[in-house]
A = this chain, B = another copy of it.
Amino acid sequence: MARTDFGPPDFREMLPPVIKENYGQWKYHTVPRPGVLKHVSYSGAVLHSVRVASPRLVSSDFIRDISDIAEKYCDGFLRFTTRNNVEFLVSDEAKLQPLIDELDAKDYLIGGVGLSISNIVHTQGWIHCKSAVTDASGISKNIMEDLKDYFTGKIKVPSRLRIAVACCVNMCGACHCSDISIVGIHRTIPRVNDELASKICEIPTTIAACPTGAIRPNPKAKSVTINSEKCMMCGNCTAVCPAIKIMDPVNDGVSIWVGGKLSNSRKAPMFSKLAIPFIPNNPPYWPEVTDAVRHLVEVWASHAREGERMGEWIERIGWERFFKLTDLPFTNKHIDDFTHATTTFRSSTQFKF
């Protein structure tokens, strides 16, 4: 039997000496140039971190290449960020510019720090998930291609803006709290293969999986039936019962959500809210999605105050103004009808015309 339960390598062994020595002693940081963080310790020690974009889905070549670079300029030390960027940890300030030069030469994009749009947090998509309604990698590549100047700092934004892409409502990318998120959705109800279901469906589990109680047992067929009036096409039943299929290339696509955030800075964390209910899958460019995201970014950037996250801005101006400024249609889809729907209705005459 193989060795088990020994856990990951100890992070302490992965830290450059300057971090070990100044662990917990950092005093402040500055951003000497876009994409570069300079952390200064109470001891006076300095650490530069150079952040570069990563496609997240990488090859061994990529791993080896960044390893080479790290070795050359960082004594072999590097890290990844929680948004999947790579950070080169430079202890020796003299090596900073050479590093940047090499990164530039190798077409790494430096950025994602401070007032910028950082990398997209995204999920598997058609690359590897059986539930994927769309391809997260493809959409993310297109959006970031379009917004790269916001990443590199060429164009400034009023505050950080976080984008997430999830290929289905399971939202492995935690789209529910991003400034902008793109979520794959279905628009037709699942089909039940009764024959198969009678063999392998754990019926009680399947019934319990439905958020809206749309699934009822079908004892005759030893299967289940789906109430088309109640089904909201979430696909959760298909996750627990292989005999239920929901994929529909004609009608599947993505929705766009805005105004979420997680930091407690100024306002408490907020959920993202529905902006665009549906855009069809249009690979390889998903141009409507890219356009919509750019449009949202631009409207926000040109109206928000300094430091104002998307959600803070919308809360200040009101959703009616948001829909006006973005020229997006407000539809019956935008009105919540799930459990806490009534808490989202407006109980006040305070609104803008």
Question: Using a CB–CB distance below 8 Å, which chain A residues touch chain B?
Answer: 264, 268-269, 339-340, 342-343, 346-350
Known pairs A264-B349, A264-B350, A269-B348 / 8 extra A-B pairs, C-beta < 8 Å? A264-B348, A268-B347, A268-B350, A269-B347, A339-B339, A340-B340, A340-B343, A343-B343
Which B-chain residue is minimally distant from A344 (CB atoms)?
Answer: B343
**How far apart are A59's CB and chain B's nearest CB, in angstroms?**
39
Nearest 10 CB-CB pairs, A to B? Answer: A268-B348, A343-B343, A264-B349, A340-B340, A264-B350, A340-B343, A268-B350, A264-B348, A269-B347, A269-B348
User: What DSSP secondary structure best describes chain A's contact surface?
Assistant: loop
In the bound complex, residues from chain B placing their C-beta under 8 Å from that of A346 are 268
In the complex, 15 of the A-B residue pairs with CB atoms within 8 angstroms, ordered by the A residue number, are: A264-B348, A264-B349, A264-B350, A268-B346, A268-B347, A268-B348, A268-B350, A269-B347, A269-B348, A339-B339, A339-B340, A340-B340, A340-B342, A340-B343, A343-B343
In the bound complex, residues from chain B placing their C-beta under 8 Å from that of A350 are 264, 268
Docked CA distance A26–B340 (Å): 43
Q: How many copies does the complex hold?
A: 2
**How far apart are A177's CB and chain B's nearest CB, in angstroms?**
10
In the bound complex, residues from chain B placing their C-beta under 8 Å from that of A348 are 264, 268-269
**How far apart are A318's CB and chain B's nearest CB, in angstroms?**
12
Docked CA distance A340–B340 (Å): 6
**How far apart are A315's CB and chain B's nearest CB, in angstroms?**
13
In the bound complex, residues from chain B placing their C-beta under 8 Å from that of A343 are 340, 343
In the bound complex, residues from chain B placing their C-beta under 8 Å from that of A269 are 347-348
From A264, A269, A346, A348, residue with most partner B Cβ within 10 Å: A348
Docked CA distance A346–B264 (Å): 12
